[in-house]
Copies of this chain bind each other. A is one copy, B any other.
Amino acid sequence: MLRAAVELFNRKGYDATSMGDLARELGLTKPAIYHHVAGKEQLLGLALDDALDELTAAVTEASREREGTTAYGRLRAVVRRSVEVLVAHRPSVTLLLRVRGNSEVELAALERRRWLDDRLAELVADAVAEGALRGDVPPALVSRLLFGMVNSLVEWYRPDGAYDTATVADAVTALAFDGLARHETPPDRRDR
């Protein structure tokens, strides 16, 4: 039921979807749905938790300083992991990225997203401090661009398409951390 609800919310827009629409989609009566959930907002909350729980686990893990790890290594790993979570939970992450804060449930999800953003910006700053990342771009901006790139996958990535998850995760980390330019690029190929 959750999967069908998320699919319908994404297709029709959450605000425009009624419990009647959902009942029709599921081939159930409205009372049958209300037997399971209190309303569409509960379904939204479950879907947003589905998107947020694994991302939160990944970011919490990446934020934890551990012997033998660097902030840089943990940042690179959490970017990879975010691609994997996004691919595995694409419908609910799509829904999450469209949330605008129109209700308590949406505000709580935005709060959790903000917490993730803050931890990621801290991790970027730690990686700069240890000398592994360039220091000429503000960490909060780096974090937004990095995860903006990851999140943009919801717009076009399809699991049955041309690229498997590992290819996309490799491409994202290669582009973001190593850069597209060959390192021996001569200086005259810089911005005009």
Q: Which residues of A contact B (CB under 8 A)?
A: 13, 15-16, 70, 72-73, 76-77, 80, 97, 131-134, 136-138, 140-142, 144-146, 148-149, 151-153, 155-156, 162-163, 167-168, 170-183, 185, 189-192
Say yes or no: B177 contacts A156, CB within 8 Å: no
How many copies the complex holds: the figure is 2
Q: A170 near B131 (CB under 8 angstroms)?
A: no
* A175-B145 in contact given A131-B182, A152-B151, A182-B132 (Cβ < 8 Å): yes
A133 and B77 within 8 A (CB):
no
Assess whether B80 is in contact with A191, with CB atoms less than 8 Å apart: yes
B148 with A152: CB separation less than 8 A: yes
CB-based nearest B residue for A12: B15
Overall SS of chain A's interface: helix
Is the CB–CB distance between B145 and A171 below 8 Å?
Answer: yes
Q: List 22 A-B contacts (CB under 8 A).
A: A13-B13, A73-B191, A73-B192, A80-B191, A131-B182, A133-B180, A134-B178, A134-B180, A137-B175, A138-B163, A141-B167, A146-B175, A146-B180, A148-B152, A148-B153, A149-B149, A151-B155, A175-B179, A176-B180, A177-B181, A179-B180, A183-B183
CA distance A189 to B156 in the complex (A): 31
Pair A136/B189 contact, Cβ less than 8 Å: no
Known: A148-B148, A152-B149, A191-B76. A175 touches B176 (CB 8 A): yes
A157: shortest Cβ distance to chain B, in Å?
9
Structural contact, A72 and B145, CB atoms closer than 8 A: no
Q: Complex formed: what's the CA distance from A156 to B148 in Å?
A: 10
Known: A149-B149, A189-B72. Contact between A142 and B178, CB under 8 A?
no
Which residues of B sit under 8 angstroms from A151, Cβ to Cβ?
Answer: 152, 155
Q: What chain B residues lie within 8 Å of A138 (beta carbons)?
A: 162-163, 167, 171
